[in-house]
């Protein structure tokens, strides 16, 4: 990952989020409060606007800009969680860590904030699968899709979806789906 790739990543992620905004909202309807599409769409619109205005020149500046915008512009649970992820990534980048370790620190920060474990039917399920695959150099689009799809049969243990209990079973977790988009676009930006 480098600054040009990072900017491209955020542009591609923003495009995906805007295109799939309605689907994200649809996923957040049976097991949530129907705002995940709006939350992510607002946050990512601010991220790309801030990139255009501030023109970050290093990966560290970019990660900081993403953190600030996600923390301040995305409401709900997902804003603080994605914000924590990018804050952890920024700190690991400052410490000179490699990309796999940077992503792992992002995951650790999500878990520090939200206390979700693997199998709780949250974005953490996707982050765990992706971090492990990146560490082993085997991240693929298929693996991301499988990790997202694997949240479907689970019963939610964290976040709003946990309020509906057994009725959360049979639905993909919205945050897992948006994290899937994040990592699909990371792979695409890295391949360009
Ligand atoms: P809200 O639930 O506040 O309306 P969003 O709809 O934007 O926020 O985001 C919901 C997503 O946030 C869930 O689908 C889930 O992936 C994620 N989430 C919620 N709580 C947690 C948690 N404690 N740890 C990890 N992820 C969580
Ligand atoms: Mg919601
Ligand atoms: Mg909400």
- 64 Cβ partners below 8 Å, 6+ apart? 56, 90
Helix 3-19 crosses helix 59-73 at what angle (to 10 degrees)?
30
Name which of 147, 183, 177 is nearest 29 in CA terms.
177
Instruction: List, for residues 105-161, the tens digit of each pLDDT value.
Output: 999 999 999 999 999 999 999 999 999 999 999 999 999 999 999 999 999 999 999
Q: Provide the terminal-to-terminal Cα distance of the chain, rounded to the nearest Å.
A: 12
Q: Which atom of ligand 1 is nearest to the CA of 39?
A: 7
Q: What is the pLDDT of residue 132?
A: 98
Instruction: List, for residues 31-79, the tens digit of each pLDDT value.
Output: 999 999 999 999 999 999 999 999 999 999 999 999 999 999 998 899 9
Q: Which residue among 23, 29, 122, 130 has the greatest number of ligand 1 atoms within 8 angstroms of its CB, and so is best to mutate?
A: 122
At 5, the pLDDT band (50, 70, 90 cuts) reads very high
Q: What is the pLDDT of residue 192?
A: 92
Ligand 1 mean position to 141 CA, how many Å?
23
Ligand 1: list residues with CB < 6 Å: 28, 32-33, 35-36, 39, 76-78, 81, 110, 114-116, 122-124, 158-160, 173-176
- pTM exceeds cut of 0.90: yes
- For residues 122 and 1, give the distance between their C-alpha atoms in angstroms, rounded to a whole number: 26
Neighbours of ion ligand 3 (CB under 5 A): 33, 35, 76
Mean pLDDT in residue range 1-19? 98
Q: What is the pLDDT of residue 75?
A: 81
Ligand 1 mean position to 96 CA, how many Å?
30
Q: What is the pLDDT of residue 76?
A: 86
Dihedral sign for Cα atoms in the order 50, 56, 59, 60: negative
Is the pLDDT at 97 greater than 90? The verdict is yes
């Amino acid at each position: 990952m480098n600054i040009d790739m990072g900017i491209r990543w955020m542009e591609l992620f923003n495009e995906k989020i805007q295109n799939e905004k309605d689907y994200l909202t649809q996923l957040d309807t049976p097991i949530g409060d129907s705002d995940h599409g709006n939350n992510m769409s607002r946050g990512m619109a601010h991220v790309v606007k801030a990139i255009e205005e501030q023109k970050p020149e290093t990966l560290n500046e970019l990660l900081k800009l993403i953190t600030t915008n996600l923390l301040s512009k995305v409401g709900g649970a997902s804003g603080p969680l994605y914000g924590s992820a990018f804050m952890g990534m920024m700190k690991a980048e400052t410490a000179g860590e490699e990309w796999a370790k940077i992503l792992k620190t992002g995951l650790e920060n999500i878990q520090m904030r939200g206390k979700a474990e693997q199998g709780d039917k949250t974005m953490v399920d996707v982050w765990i699968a992706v971090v492990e695959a990146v560490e082993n150099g085997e991240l693929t689009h298929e693996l991301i899709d499988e990790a997202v799809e694997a949240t479907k049969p689970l019963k939610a243990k964290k976040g709003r979806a946990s309020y509906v209990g057994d009725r959360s079973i049979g639905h993909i977790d919205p945050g897992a789906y948006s994290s899937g988009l994040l990592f699909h676009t990371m792979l695409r930006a890295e391949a360009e």
